[in-house]
Amino acid sequence: MSAPSTRFADAARAALAGVRDVPVWLDTPDRPARRPALDGDLVVDLAIVGGGLTGLWGAVLAAQGAPARSVALLEGGDLAWAASGRNGGFCSSSLTHGLANGLSRWPDEMPTLLAMGEENLDAIEATVAEHGIACDFRRSGELTVAVEPWQVAELAELAEAARGLGEKVELLGADETRALVDSPTYLGSLHDPRSTAIVDPARLVWGLADVAERLGVTLHERTRVVGMHDEGGMVRLDTTSGRVRARQVLLGTNAFPSPLHRLRPYVVPVWDHVIATEPLTADQLAAIGWAGRQGIGDAGNQFHYYRLTADDRLVFGGYDALYYFGSDLASRRRRSPATEQLLTEHLLETFPQLEGVRIGHTWGGAIDTCTRFTAFWAQAMGEKVAAVQGYTGLGVGASRFGAQVALDLLDGADTPRTRLEMVRRKPVPFPPEPFRWAGIQLTRRSIARADATQGRRDVWLRTLDRLGLGFDS
């Protein structure tokens, strides 16, 4: 969809009446009790800052790799409260924010990056099975659907590139696509049957936390790190309720300001919003098909992503990514009524056979965006600290890889992962305000214009492409 819909405006307003403003994944009586905050001082081998998926994978992998190593994880809020519990639940094998973005940046490394990404997703699936993590993990694949004629041609080019790299993808026409999922907007699709799983992300977080504790990791919630200091052989972390001294520190702070101040210009918080319907009836499900329960994303620059949950709610998000001046992370940004209305209109335009469905939940959260749209790594304080962030929306799967690389770097290990150019080089930082805000707003307007003009990129977008900053969804 290249422009806001008006046909379904009234139906969307009715659908949103009485909506709950909490992520559907967190609105459950099964939410675990909060772990206690740090109380006093602690000395450990490894301290992890951030209790999202990066931090939890880091804790699990560290404890498995060196069982004698003492590990403490510090989460400033509650487990799963931020990006790890607010996302759409797409667990992708991509480490590069999609094939096109990877090819534009690391063409020579793409065969290796694809293989590592598949191995990473396989390992996530194996961990979920081994430890019985009840997070509705389904290796259902993904459909990237064309909803404009220019997107059909772009998907054909992408399919050719993927096949050239040995990827088993199918290019489908409109009728073939609608036989899988029935939307009148679909003109074709690229079907990748193995590279994506769908998952309940909050339950994945809670399950990994249980695994980490069983492996001996200490978890502290409501323990915000307010300072980090090099003390020679140790790193001191000052928190709101005590101090931690650690031989090594892994930072997984996502969109939040890093304790390593020099990394802050590399990441901006972009707010993404999501809606979830009430559970669909058997008749509503039959009307749209979707027996394969694939994750779906459309091929626009401003794109939507959507999937079904275990109880048959339709989760629908994306499109209207928002940046606020000064990298504002205030809680008031979690709601955007205009965006919620727009997403609901777009959902009904995609599936008009669902007109009359009610929206049960709506929420928003910040994504840690960097200029290359993929994770990056950095070290500091005599290589006792390693940081990873910048996933730009594909962190559910890539977070495990990000944590493993960070642990490699802390151990000084020379591995195929640490030799990647992607790991060795950081992205271009964002400029300071007000240039940051102005540049992001100009880019948002330009990509909207490109979607409205058959994908044609204007001078601004072509300039960003030449600088290696080109937006590629």
pLDDT band at 394 (very low <50, low <70, confident <90, very high): very high
Q: What's the rounded Cα separation, in Å, for the pair 290 and 315?
A: 13
Per-residue pLDDT tens digits for 64-87: 999 999 999 999 999 999 999 999
Q: What is the pLDDT, as a whole number, of residue 459?
A: 85
Contact 413, 67 (CB under 8 A): no
pLDDT band at 11 (very low <50, low <70, confident <90, very high): very high
Q: What is the pLDDT, as a whole number, of residue 453?
A: 78
When pLDDT is averaged across residues 376-393 and rounded to a whole number, the result is: 97
The sign of the torsion formed by the CA atoms of 151, 153, 159, 164 equals negative
pLDDT band at 5 (very low <50, low <70, confident <90, very high): low
pLDDT band at 471 (very low <50, low <70, confident <90, very high): low
SS3 labels along the chain: CCCCCCCCHHHHHHHCCCCECCCCCCCCCCCCCCCCCCCEEEEEEEEEECCCHHHHHHHHHHHHHCCCCCEEEECCCCCCCCHHHHCCCEEECCCCCCHHHHHHHCHHHHHHHHHHHHHHHHHHHHHHHHCCCCCCCECCCEEEEECCHHHHHHHHHHHHHHHHCCCCCEEEEHHHHHHHECCCCCCEEEEECCCEEECCHHHHHHHHHHHHHHCCCEEECCCCEEEEEECCCCEEEEECCEEEEEEEEEECCCCCCCCCHHHHHHCEEEEEEEEEECCCCHHHHHHHECCCCCEEEECCCCCEEEEECCCCCEEEEECCCECCCCCCCCHHHHCCHHHHHHHHHHHHHHCHHHCCCCEEEEEEEEEEECCCCCCEEEEECCCCEEEEECCCCCHHHHHHHHHHHHHHHHCCCCCCCCCCHHHHCCCCCCCCCCHHHHHHHHHHHHHHHHHHCCCCCCHHHHHHHHCCCCCCC
Q: What is the pLDDT, as a whole number, of residue 2?
A: 44
> What is the distance of C-alpha 291 from the center of its chain?
25
Q: What is the pLDDT, as a whole number, of residue 446?
A: 82
Per-residue pLDDT tens digits for 328-364: 999 999 999 999 999 999 999 999 999 999 999 999 9
Contacts of 453 (CB under 8 A, 6+ apart): none
The pairing of beta strand 40-49 with beta strand 170-173: unpaired
Per-residue pLDDT tens digits for 257-291: 999 999 999 999 999 999 999 999 999 999 999 99
Q: What is the pLDDT, as a whole number, of residue 331?
A: 92
Is residue 10 pLDDT above 60, yes or no? yes
Is residue 212 pLDDT above 60, yes or no? yes
Match 């929420």 to its residue by tokens: 363
Per-residue pLDDT tens digits for 115-146: 999 999 999 999 999 999 999 999 999 999 99
Q: What number of CA atoms fall less than 13 Å from residue 325's CA on the CB side? A: 4
Q: What is the pLDDT, as a whole number, of residue 473?
A: 40
Match 């205030």 to its residue by tokens: 330
pLDDT band at 466 (very low <50, low <70, confident <90, very high): confident
Is residue 461 pLDDT above 90, yes or no? no
Q: Mean pLDDT, the chain, as a whole number?
A: 95
Model confidence, pTM: 0.96
Q: What is the pLDDT, as a whole number, of residue 437?
A: 92
Is residue 422 pLDDT above 90, yes or no? yes
Q: How far lies 158's CA from each of 98, 247, 299, 456, 463, in Å?
A: 10, 45, 11, 17, 22
Q: What is the pLDDT, as a whole number, of residue 324?
A: 96
Q: What's the rounded Cα separation, in Å, for the pair 367 and 470?
A: 18
Contacts of 33 (CB under 8 A, 6+ apart): none
Q: What's the rounded Cα separation, in Å, for the pair 358 and 20?
A: 11
| The amino acid at 277 | T
When pLDDT is averaged across residues 184-205 and rounded to a whole number, the result is: 97
65: number of Cβ within 10 Å: 12
Contacts of 286 (CB under 8 A, 6+ apart): none
Residue closest to 39 by CA, chosen among 209, 240, 235, 236:
240
Per-residue pLDDT tens digits for 149-158: 999 999 999 9
